[in-house]
Amino acid sequence: MFFWSFIRRAVLTAVLVPLGVAGARKLSDTVERRRGPNNRVSRLLRQGADTAQTLFGRKKKRRFGFL
């Protein structure tokens, strides 16, 4: 039972997080197009998408621990 709930949660995370990031970027572009560059809403949407992408995205494979 625990195994299936873990798999379901992992699949949902693997699908929903990238869709949410893409949606936030698209919405940010739309808001920026309507309200002009450098407005608060588009900047916050883009920063949120960047943060989510770095948190849930692929990690760099490091050759050494310090590089």
DSSP 59: P
Threshold 0.75, pTM exceeds = no
CA within 13 Å, CB half, 34: 8
Which residue type does 41 have? V
CA 6, 19, 2: angle at the middle one, nearest 5?
5
pLDDT exceeds cutoff 70 at 59 = no
Q: pLDDT band at residue 56, thresholds of 50, 70 and 90?
A: confident
- For residue 14, the model assigns a pLDDT of 86
Separation between Cα atoms, residue 13 and residue 8, nearest integer Å: 9
The residue extents of the domains of the chain are 15-50
pLDDT exceeds cutoff 60 at 64 = yes
DSSP 53: H
- For residue 60, the model assigns a pLDDT of 60
